Amino acid sequence: MTIKEKQQQLVDEFAFLEDWEQKYEYIIDLGKELKGLSEEKKTPENLIKGCQSQVWIDAEFKEGKLFFNADSDGILPKGIVSLLVSVYSGHSTDEILDSDFKFIEDIGLQEFLSPSRANGLMAMTKQIKFYAVAFQLKK
């Protein structure tokens, strides 16, 4: 499945949820499914700056694709980062760099978040793009 298809699938799933309480619960459930990171991966280098909670994103490049894993000490940020991991993990650096984050707007997620959580979300998206650039340069 392409990044765009994964994004559209999420937009469609969120469209079926009637209100933000249900959407909030869905995001939390996504976080519960996230594998999480081992303690040795929770390093300052993997810590996302600008998040209200502690959020870590780790990336591994194998067989031409980037694989992300993440964790957070907060239930909502863990769900949000899980959403991003599910969309971008397993794709090439080119695919990630050519993609956008418009689906976040389509879901209405930024409108639902407090300003500090919205800043954290933007920091997470920037980190995913940063990893894609960094690993592309290593090719």
User: Would you please indicate which residues are annotated as catalytic (active-site) residues?
Assistant: 51
Give the DSSP per-residue string, the chain: --HHHHHHHHHHHHHHS-SHHHHHHHHHHHHHH-----GGG--TTTBPTT-SS-EEEEEEEETTEEEEEEEESSHHHHHHHHHHHHHHTTB-HHHHHH---HHHHHHTHHHHS-HHHHHHHHHHHHHHHHHHHHHHHH-
